[in-house]
Structure 1
């Protein structure tokens, strides 16, 4: 029989939650608060922005409560902590006292980095809330689906990223919604594509798929419909850039004779996506991809303000990508 795992002690400890991904940071804080509350249900909880810790407020919060046997203190936005409190916070982090559960939250960046470095040097336990790379998002979605007990495979996870975009909070909400609407069912890519039909990134990637596949007519039609329904022009250039970069990496790496898993890691796509790239590679040359990427870079600058008519700039982009597609292999 497996030994029962005891809950990790939270009081008498400090944890630094560090990184720009707010959803992951919020979850780390919520899990720590829940663990502390499970150990001392009547503990007093205080969440306070670092900027509000003026005078003796920090000392009062961390020095014990007259009304509770223990205290849970979460200091948010540590980057804005007044410099005169650096030493006090560092001292408390090193030795919180047996009745204090202290959590410090820093969103990354250079501001307040000196304190963060000192906390790390003091070996204060660290929870990283780092941004998830674009190519890692489908795997993150799969993990989120497992966490919420939603059946979803790699292809469906990629379809959800294409549909919703790269924001973790939106992706998490979408997984939860899919699980609620299809409770007990396995969610597939076609189900996601129908469910999110008309969403901005679905439309953008549909435009990219058509023009990359040598279908300029349908691509132009979808582009005009997308822009008419409020899709931001920058989403179109972003989708095209992502598709072209993936294809370019595939064209460079395929001659290395790597195993499928190794090739997928090298290109930065899930293994099932290699079939699509293999099909596209038959009609694209490296020179064509390079030419198309230059056109995307120009159009991206235009839709961000360099052109008076971003819609016209995108139509010209699709025509330029179609010409690049025709470049001899």
Structure 2
């Protein structure tokens, strides 16, 4: 099996599932772990050789994205004639290193598990829902959003937060519960600033922005959060016209679309255009095109908040 991609949590879980299923069939399955970066010729042959008492084997080969030349040579040969009594799992973190080996594994017909980064908020929200569903627990949609906004950039941290909430709480997880555990994280994020600005709450948006900056937030992701919020509004606004994109084509979760529809009730096309232009200007300035990134992001927040309702 080839487990390939840069998302380490998904790769770890894929390997764990393989080992778990093998040991369900044979509790005596022997596990062997090897590092591809320090691999020396012949190690795979030794690892996959029959056990003394004939137990099944699973060999985990990690770090194949930094593999040695000997690893590539041995894996190409093994892929052509694998041992039917042994399961070999190659974990490759992405990139082109070992391409010959990757091609050989795919040609062999081995299963491939893709572990690519989860980049969209909609996909992170689906991940959170799946975590709670697997634990037979309920979580409100608003609580899902709050959790994604607080921890969504790091899937491993997001999974850990889900686990903590499942373990430490009872009943349905609400926004209040998420705020109790992660309120400080949510409060200082650009997403919260963007929400208040889009709602036209100028004072609250600026206060949250200054708190975020005072606690070490960088202007670049703060502007990015504003841009993401306005893009969602613009996408949903485009749905209103005939021939506009469908909800599926927008790449947004249903709750994001519903929220954007409610928020658009206080926006005019002219106001939305002015806000988008202001954020585009701020984006250029915080990335080196201006002298004062803090001033640039504050001006953008003020413009967005004041454009709401125009």
TM-score, with length taken from structure 1 = 0.82
Deviates more, 1:299-308 or 1:44-53: 299-308
The structural deviation recorded for 1:65 is: 4.4
Structure 1 unmatched ranges of 5 or more: 1-14
Give the 3 Å change call, closer, same or farther, for CA 112–181 of structure 1 in structure 2. same
Give the superposed CA RMSD: 2.7
Q: 1:160 aligns with which of 115, 125, 147?
A: 147
Aligned partners of 2:6 and 2:115 also within 8 Å: yes
What corresponds to 1:10 in structure 2?
A: none
* 1:145 counterpart = 2:122: no
- Cα distance in 2 for residues equivalent to 1:47 and 1:58: 10
What corresponds to 1:284 in structure 2?
A: 267
Superposition pairs for residues 1-329 of structure 1, below 5 Å?
15-66=1-52, 69-134=55-120, 135-183=122-170, 185-200=171-186, 203-256=189-242, 263-286=246-269, 288-307=271-290, 309-322=292-305, 324-325=307-308
Structure 2 unmatched ranges of 5 or more: none
Superposed CA offset, 1:271-311 (max 9, x none): 23334322322333445444433433443454455555432
Deviates more, 1:316-325 or 1:50-59: 316-325
Aligned partners of 1:205 and 1:240 also within 8 Å: yes
Aligned length, in residue pairs: 309
The structural deviation recorded for 1:187 is: 0.8
**Which contiguous aligned blocks of 4+ residues in structure 1 show a shift greater than 6 angstroms?**
none
- Cα distance in 2 for residues equivalent to 1:59 and 1:307: 59
- Cα distance in 1 for residues equivalent to 2:41 and 2:258: 62
The structural deviation recorded for 1:254 is: 1.9
TM-score, with length taken from structure 2 = 0.87
Deviates more, 1:311-320 or 1:168-177: 311-320
Give the 3 Å change call, closer, same or farther, for CA 239–193 of structure 1 in structure 2. farther
- Cα distance in 2 for residues equivalent to 1:284 and 1:264: 20
- Cα distance in 2 for residues equivalent to 1:201 and 1:167: 17
